[in-house]
Amino acid sequence: MRTNVTVFPFDLFGGAGTGAGAQLLGDAVNEILDDTEAETRPCRADVLRGNVEVREFAFETMQQIRAWRKTGRDAAKQALKAGEFLLWLGGNHLSVLPVLEELGRDCCVIQFDAHLDIYAFHDTTSELSHGNFLRHIEAPRPRVISVGHRDLFLTPQEIGETFEATYSAVDVATNADRVATELRAAVASAKRVWIDLDVDAFDPAVLPAVLQPLPFGLAAPTFLKLLDAVWSEKVVGMSISEFSPACDVRDTGLNLLGWLIEFVLLRVHTAG
Ligand SMILES: [Mn+2]
């Protein structure tokens, strides 16, 4: 197995500053790889040697910004076609849109997020943004199941237009076992699975480094339980977005996400 780590620090149309989060997580991956390279004693990370490639995109020129969606789709398509595990380190949540557009109908996306990104209220923009981008996915759309949201605005009818199912933070808090069982059943019928983590899914006490914190979020061990429930060899990749280092407190978020990334890399490369 090979892993392609794509640093995609796009953070326009919401969540400014999260591009720096993507770059920081990319640095963390490079540090993991460098440490492994320098280690002379046997260690679990030996399985990563020579099997993980990091590529970084930049959005600094008008040309790069104008082409962001196509650049993202091409990058995602190439990695998925090559059968590589794709770890997408995005800026804002919108930066994951090109990946979702490349996954196709036979893929089930398990999306961890405090929000349901289909907002269209009087005070939200109708233009493409990080808060409404799920309305803009080009067909064929993947199946999307949302986990951990704390939304108090949207009606069930509106939610049902975009999501196959949603499990709110209340559902998870009151019966995580049932949620895990139902998620496992949902991914069983999918050909491929994608894990999409908007890091504000976590409780702000666990991960303060987000621009739109909502209380009553996921505890870290609960997230691990649900991640484990949906994990299998059908998982073709994972995206992580909305990490805002400027809001971090004593590197709490960086530590959590750095550990999570190393855990995922080891799981991908130790499977089978
Ligand atoms: Mn969110």
- 167-226 residue pLDDT tens: 999 999 999 999 999 999 999 999 999 999 999 999 999 999 999 999 999 999 999 999
If you measure from the C-alpha of residue 111 to the centroid of ligand 1, how many angstroms do you get, rounded to a whole number? Answer: 10
The total number of residues shown for the chain amounts to 272
Structurally, how many domains does the chain consist of? 1
Q: Read off the pTM.
A: 0.97
Query: Tokens 């149309």, residue?
Result: 13
Residue 141 binned pLDDT confidence (cut-offs 50, 70, 90) = very high
If you measure from the C-alpha of residue 118 to the centroid of ligand 1, how many angstroms do you get, rounded to a whole number? Answer: 11
3-state secondary structure (DSSP) of residue 249: coil
Residue 168 is predicted with a pLDDT of 98
Q: Do the bridges between strand 52-56 and strand 3-8 make them parallel or antiparallel, or are there none, so unpaired?
A: parallel
Q: Is the pLDDT assigned to residue 39 strictly greater than 90? A: yes
If you measure from the C-alpha of residue 189 to the centroid of ligand 1, how many angstroms do you get, rounded to a whole number? Answer: 27
Residue 104 is predicted with a pLDDT of 92
Residue 272 binned pLDDT confidence (cut-offs 50, 70, 90) = low
If you measure from the C-alpha of residue 54 to the centroid of ligand 1, how many angstroms do you get, rounded to a whole number? Answer: 25
Residue 127 binned pLDDT confidence (cut-offs 50, 70, 90) = confident
Residue 64 is predicted with a pLDDT of 97
Q: Is the pLDDT assigned to residue 83 strictly greater than 60? A: yes
Q: Is the pLDDT assigned to residue 243 strictly greater than 70? A: yes
Range of the domain at 89: 3-270
Phi and psi dihedrals of 232, rounded to 5?
-165, 180
Average pLDDT, the chain: 96
Residue 247 is predicted with a pLDDT of 97
Q: Taking ligand 1, which is a single-atom ion, which protein residues have CB atoms under 5 Å away?
A: 113-115, 198, 200
Say if residues 200 and 150 touch (Cβ distance below 8 Å): no
pLDDT in tens, 184-196: 999 999 999 999 9
If you measure from the C-alpha of residue 4 to the centroid of ligand 1, how many angstroms do you get, rounded to a whole number? Answer: 24
If you measure from the C-alpha of residue 36 to the centroid of ligand 1, how many angstroms do you get, rounded to a whole number? Answer: 33
If you measure from the C-alpha of residue 198 to the centroid of ligand 1, how many angstroms do you get, rounded to a whole number? Answer: 5
If you measure from the C-alpha of residue 201 to the centroid of ligand 1, how many angstroms do you get, rounded to a whole number? Answer: 7
If you measure from the C-alpha of residue 217 to the centroid of ligand 1, how many angstroms do you get, rounded to a whole number? Answer: 11
Say if residues 13 and 128 touch (Cβ distance below 8 Å): yes
If you measure from the C-alpha of residue 116 to the centroid of ligand 1, how many angstroms do you get, rounded to a whole number? Answer: 7
CA distance 185 to 57: 36
If you measure from the C-alpha of residue 73 to the centroid of ligand 1, how many angstroms do you get, rounded to a whole number? Answer: 21
Q: Is the pLDDT assigned to residue 267 strictly greater than 70? A: yes
Q: Domain containing 236 — which CATH number? A: 3.40.800.10
